[in-house]
Amino acid sequence: MLEKFLKTVKKHHMFQKGDGIVIGVSGGPDSMTLLHLLYRIREEYDLNLYAVHLNHQFRGKEADEDAEYVRKFCENIGIKSFIFSENITTYSNEKGITFEEAGREIRYKLFHEVMKDMKANKIAVAQNMDDQAETLLMRLMRGSGVEGLSAIDYVREDKIIRPILDITREEIESYCRKYDLHPRIDKTNLEAVYTRNRIRLELIPYIEEHFNRNIKQVLARTTNLIKEDKDFLNLSAEEAYRKLTKKENSEIIICKEAYERQHIAIKKRILRKAIFEIQGDLKDIQNKHIQKVLNLIQYGQVGGHIDLPRKLYVVLDYKNVVIGKGKRKIENNDFEYNINIGETLNIKELNTTLRAVVVEHKELKNISKGKNEKYFDFDKIKNNMIVRNRKNGDRFIPLGMKGSKKLKDFFIDQKISREERDKIPLVCDGEKIIWVIGHRMSEEYKVGEDTNKVLVLCYKS
C-alpha cells in the first residue's frame, strides 16, 4: 500500500522534501488512510502536515463525534489540526447551489486559509480509484466531453494533490483494519438515494458480477488515456490562444479569420479559455452556450451579438470576435458618401467597398450576378446617390410590399440587433432608400419590362 502510494506521488511529482501539506480529513476511511500514509513518511520527506476538518452541521451528534475523532487522532500522532463548523445547508440556500457544491466551496476556502496561515504549499485530498470510476460513469451518463471524461486530476493548479487516486476502496478498508484506524462511517454513503451512491452500491457491483470484475481498474486506465489526449488538446489550444487573442481593457479580442481556420475542438477551448480569463471560472457555461457562440461566428452578421450567463456578452465585429462582461460601449460612427457611376467607393468605417455601374437592360443576360450584387431601374433615380447609415425617421417600401415601412420596424422584424443596425449601409436616392445592403432592396426601384438602363451595385466586405 505504501509503495503504491509513493509510486503515485513520485510519478506525478506531487510534493518535495520540506513541503507543507494541508490535508482534508473528514474522519472517513479514505481521508484517514491518506493522513496516516503521509504521517508515516513525514520524517523521511521532512513534511509539515496540517489536518483540516469541516463539520457540515448536517448529521447532528454524529457530525460532532466525527470532529472530535479527528481532533483526538491528530493530537495522538502529533499533527496540528484545524476543526471548523459551518451550516452548509444555510450557505447552500443563500447562494442557490446544491449542498455538495456548498460543502466543497467552504472546504476549499478553509484549505486555502490554513495553507496561507501555515505557509504550506500543497492541499491533499482523498479521492481514490473507486471515486474515479464513479465519476467517469456519472459524467458519461449525464453527457460529457473529453474534459469531463478525464474525470479527476492527480494534480490540479500545481497545489491540489490526490495521492491515493490509484488505490481502491477495498484496499483502503483493509489498510484501516491493519493499522486499527477505526475511521468514522457516514451512513448516508450507504443509502442508494443520490446518483453517486447508486453507482457505487448498485451499478458497479452489477458490472463487476456480470461483465468485468476489474471494471474499476479499467475505468481508471480509461480516464488516464483520455487525460493524455485532453492535455495535448489543451496545449494546442493554449498555443493557438496566445496567437489569436489579445486583451483590451476588460474584453478578449479574437482574430476571426485565423480562429475560423482552427479545428472545432480548438475553437471550443479558445472560447472557454477566453471566458475563464474574463471571469475566473466557467461556472454556468455549458456546451449549449459555446455552441451559440460558434453559430454566431459562423452564421451571424457584423454587429450581431449574444448574451451569456453572468452578464457575459459576445459581439461579432468586422474582423474580430469580442468577448466581455457587463455593458459594452458601442461606438457609433456615422458615415455618408456620394456614389459615382463607374467608380469603386471605399467605406472606411466598415472596411468595405461599393461599386456602381450602369448597363443597358438587354446586357444583363451577359452579366453573372455575384453575391451582394443588386440591379435597379436607373431611370427612376432622380437625385444624387449616396450611401450612409440609418437616421431617425427612415422609411422604405421593402421589395414585395405595397406600403412603406419604418426602417426601425423592418430591422426588428428581421431580428437585427441595435448595435448592428448603425453599421448597415443604406444606398439612397437623395433621402429615399434604394437598398438596405445585405437585407432588402426597395420595391420602387426594381427592374421591370420597361426598364432601359440598369444600375448595378456590387457591395464587398
pLDDT digits (tens, 9 = 90+) for 179-188: 999 999 876 6
Asked if residue 394 belongs to a domain, the reply is yes
At residue 317, the pLDDT reads: 77
- Asked whether the beta carbons of 241 and 271 are under 8 A apart, the reply is no
Asked if residue 237 belongs to a domain, the reply is no
Name the nearest CA neighbour of 457 among 380, 344, 336: 344
Residue 268 sits at the vertex; the CA angle it makes with 267 and 272, to the nearest 5 degrees, is 120
Binned at pLDDT 50, 70 and 90, residue 439 comes out as very high
Same domain, 303 and 367: no
> The domain spanning residue 424 has which CATH number?
3.50.40.10
Same domain, 213 and 272: no
Asked if residue 56 belongs to a domain, the reply is yes
Mean pLDDT of the chain: 91
At residue 331, the pLDDT reads: 56
Binned at pLDDT 50, 70 and 90, residue 190 comes out as low
**Nearest 10 degrees: Cα torsion 339, 340, 341, 345:** -70
Binned at pLDDT 50, 70 and 90, residue 168 comes out as very high
Could you tell me which residue, 193 or 53, shows the higher pLDDT?
Answer: 53
The residue range of the domain holding 210 is 2-225
Same domain, 340 and 213: no
Same domain, 80 and 161: yes
- Asked whether the beta carbons of 130 and 166 are under 8 A apart, the reply is no
Same domain, 160 and 276: no
Asked if residue 348 belongs to a domain, the reply is yes
What does the pLDDT look like over 124-142, one tens digit per residue?
Answer: 999 999 999 999 999 898 8
At residue 445, the pLDDT reads: 96
What does the pLDDT look like over 63-79, one tens digit per residue?
Answer: 999 999 999 999 999 99
Retrieve residue 113's grid coordinates: 486559509
Same domain, 296 and 369: no
**Nearest 10 degrees: Cα torsion 218, 222, 228, 229:** 160
Name the nearest CA neighbour of 79 among 35, 45, 123: 35
Same domain, 255 and 115: no
Over 80: is that where the pLDDT of 328 sits?
no
Same domain, 13 and 156: yes
Over 70: is that where the pLDDT of 367 sits?
no
pTM above 0.85, yes or no: no
CA neighbours within 13 Å on the CB side: how many for 77?
22
> The domain spanning residue 274 has which CATH number?
3.30.465.60
Asked if residue 36 belongs to a domain, the reply is yes
Binned at pLDDT 50, 70 and 90, residue 419 comes out as low
Asked if residue 238 belongs to a domain, the reply is no
Could you tell me which residue, 151 or 53, shows the higher pLDDT?
Answer: 53
Asked if residue 35 belongs to a domain, the reply is yes
Same domain, 285 and 219: no
Same domain, 317 and 364: no
Retrieve residue 311's grid coordinates: 452578464
Over 70: is that where the pLDDT of 189 sits?
no
Asked if residue 242 belongs to a domain, the reply is no
**Span 375-380, average pLDDT:** 94
What does the pLDDT look like over 95-108, one tens digit per residue?
Answer: 888 888 899 999 99
> The domain spanning residue 180 has which CATH number?
3.40.50.620
Q: Map grid coordinates 476571426 to a residue.
A: 256
As a whole number of angstroms, the distance between CA 98 and CA 89 comes to 9
Retrieve residue 362's grid coordinates: 438587354
Q: How many domains does the chain have?
A: 3
**Span 95-124, average pLDDT:** 94
Binned at pLDDT 50, 70 and 90, residue 192 comes out as low
